[in-house]
Amino acid sequence: MKEKEIDLAVVGSGPAGLSAAIEAAKYGASVEIIDENALPGGQLFKQIHKFFGSKEHYAGVRGYDIGRKLLDEAENLKVDIRLNTIAFGVFNKNKIGLFDQKSILVSKPKKIIIATGASENPLAFPGWTLPGVMGAGAVQTMINIHRVLPGRKVLMVGAGNVGLIVSYQLLQAGADVVAIVEAMPKIGGYFVHAAKVLRIGVLILTSHTIIEAKGDKEVESATIAALDQNLNPIKGSEKELEVDLICIAIGLRPEADLCRMLNCEFTYIPFLGGHVPIHNEDMETTTPGVYVAGDVSGIEEASVAMEEGRIAGISAAESLGYISSEEAEKEKMKCKERLKAFRIGPFGSPRQEGKNKIFEEYKRRVKNVK
C-alpha cells in the first residue's frame, strides 16, 4: 500500500475544505484535499442563486461562481485535489485509508481537517419508500447539475432555506410546485427566499405536514393534514394533492463519522443539527491535530463554512510552524469578527448560542483530559 506523508490532509472540497486548504497553502504547508465526488466544490455548484452578505462573503455572486473562484485559488497555490477518492476510515490514529476506485492508498498527514459537510434528515411516513420521494438536496443535484427533472408536480416538505430555495429552483426548471408544507407555525427560512416563491403563487401551508404518499409503483398523490399546537394531525383536515414528486427538506445533520474514528468527542446541539464534534474557536476538536470546519461542525451556511475553513487552515498552519502565533491570531481574529457579524438576528443568534455551548463543552473536556 502506497503511503504518502503530508503536512495537512483536508477531507472534503466544499467551501470549508477549499478555504482551509487555501489558507494553509498560502503559508507554505503541503496540502492535499480528498473528495469522494467527481467534481469539487461540495454543495456550491448546485447553488444557482446569488449569495448575499458582505463583499468577503461574495455578495451578489452565484454559488457556482464562488466555487469556481475558490477552486482556481486552490489550484494556483498547488494544492493537490484528489477527486473520486473516498476516505473510508482512519487507522492507527493518523493513517487515512483512501480508495480511488482502483487501489488503496494511505495518507499520513501531520494535521487533519474534516470538512465533510452534512447529510439530509429522512422523514418516515406511510409510502415514504415509493420512488418519487426524495431528499430536497437530491432533487437539487438532479435539476441543477444533471439538468434532469425527476417529476412535474411537486410537494415540498419543509419551509426552511433548503425547502424554499429548492422550490424556487424547481419552478425555474419547469416544474409545478403544488404546495410547501411546514410543520411549525412559522416559515423557517429567510423571508427573501419565501417571498420569491410566494410571488409566483406557490402555497406555503404552515402547521401542516404530509400524512401519506400514495401510488402503485411510484408517487401519484400525497395526503397532507393540518397540525394542532401539539403537532398532532387534526382529523378531518386531510387533503389529497396530485403530485408525482415529494421532496423532504426537514434539516441536515453533520456527517462526522471520520471524527468518530479519530476519537473526537461529541455533544448534542439540536439547533445545529444534532450530534456535533466538540471544538474550540480555533476549530480544533478534542483530538489534538484534528480540526473541523463547515456543516460538519454544526449546520449553518456556506459563508460560515468559508470562514471556519479559513480559521482551521490558519490554525493548522500555525501548529505546523508555518506562521507565528501573533500573525495567526491577527488573521484568525478577522475571520472570527466576520463570523460574529454573521451570527446575529433571529436566524443567526441561535446559531451563535449553539456554538457557544460547543466552545464551553470544549473547555470542560479538554481541561479534564489534560
Partner 1 sequence: MHFPLSCEVVIIGGGMMGLSTAYRLAQAGCDVIVLEWRNIASGASGRNGGQIIQLDGRDKDQKSISQRLIYAKENTKLLDELYEELDYDFELNRCGSFDVAFSKKDAEELMELVEIQRKAGDKEIEFLEGDEVQRLFPVLRKDVYGARYRPTDGNLEPLKLTYGLAKAAKKYGAKIFTHSKVDKILVDHIGVTGVSIQGRTIKTKWVVNATNAWASILTPEVDILPLRDVAVLTEEIASIPPSPIETIIGDELVFTTTQTRSGNVLVGGRTEARFRKDQYKEDVTLEELRENVSIISEFFPSISNVNVIRAWAGTMAFTADGFPCIGPMPGVKGLIISAGFNNGMGYVAITGKLVSEYILHNGKTSLPLDPFDPARFYKKKIKWPEPYNYSIITKFLGRL
Partner 2 sequence: MRIVDHPILGKLKERKKVFIEVDGRKIEAYEGEPIAAALLAAGVRVFRYTSKEKEPRGLFCAIGRCTDCVMIVDGIPNVRTCVTSVRDGMKIETQKGLGKWRK
What, of partner 1, partner 2, none, does residue 224 touch, CB below 5 to 8 Å by kind?
none
The interface region with partner 2, picked from 23-31, 118-126, 202-210, 300-308 by CB under 8 A, is 118-126
What is the contact mask toward partner 2 in residues 180 to 219, using x (rule: CB under 8 A)?
-------------------------------------xx-
What is the contact mask toward partner 2 in residues 128 to 147, using x (rule: CB under 8 A)?
-xxxxxxx-xxx-xxxx-xx
What, of partner 2, partner 1, none, does residue 60 touch, CB below 5 to 8 Å by kind?
none
Contact present, 127 and 214 (Cβ < 8 Å): yes
Q: Which of 72, 91, 104, 172 binds partner 2 (CB under 8 A)?
A: 172
Q: Which of 28, 53, 89, 348 binds partner 1 (CB under 8 A)?
A: 89
d(CA 94, CA 8): 11
Using a 10 angstrom Cβ sphere, with 0-12 exposed, 13-18 middle and 19 or more buried, the burial of residue 38 is: exposed
From the CB of 173, what's the least distance to partner 2, in Å? 5
What, of partner 2, partner 1, none, does residue 1 touch, CB below 5 to 8 Å by kind?
partner 1
Show the 3-state SS of 272-329: HCEEEECECCCCEECCCCEEECHHHHCCCCHHHHHHHHHHHHHHHHHHCCCCCHHHHH
d(CA 161, CA 167): 10
What is the contact mask toward partner 1 in residues 170 to 189, using x (rule: CB under 8 A)?
--------------------
**Pure H helices in 151-239:** 161-172, 191-200
Contact between 96 and partner 2 by CB under 8 A: the answer reads no
Contact present, 291 and 278 (Cβ < 8 Å): no
What, of partner 1, partner 2, none, does residue 146 touch, CB below 5 to 8 Å by kind?
partner 2
What, of partner 1, partner 2, none, does residue 89 touch, CB below 5 to 8 Å by kind?
partner 1
The three cell numbers of residue 190 are 429567510
What, of partner 1, partner 2, none, does residue 119 touch, CB below 5 to 8 Å by kind?
partner 2
What is the contact mask toward partner 1 in residues 1 to 40, using x (rule: CB under 8 A)?
x---------------------------------------
Contact present, 248 and 236 (Cβ < 8 Å): no
Element (H, E) at 105: strand 104-114
Q: Taking Cα atoms as reference points, which of 14, 6, 8 lies closest to residue 293? A: 14
What, of partner 1, partner 2, none, does residue 104 touch, CB below 5 to 8 Å by kind?
partner 1
Taking the least distance from each CB to partner 2, the nearer of 50 and 364 is 50
The three cell numbers of residue 34 are 480528498
Contact present, 362 and 278 (Cβ < 8 Å): yes
Q: Which of 61, 64, 73, 97 binds partner 1 (CB under 8 A)?
A: 97
Q: Taking Cα atoms as reference points, which of 225, 234, 251 lies closest to residue 158? A: 251
Contacts to partner 2 by CB under 8 A: 36-38, 48, 62, 119-120, 122, 129-135, 137-139, 141-144, 146-150, 152, 172-174, 217-218
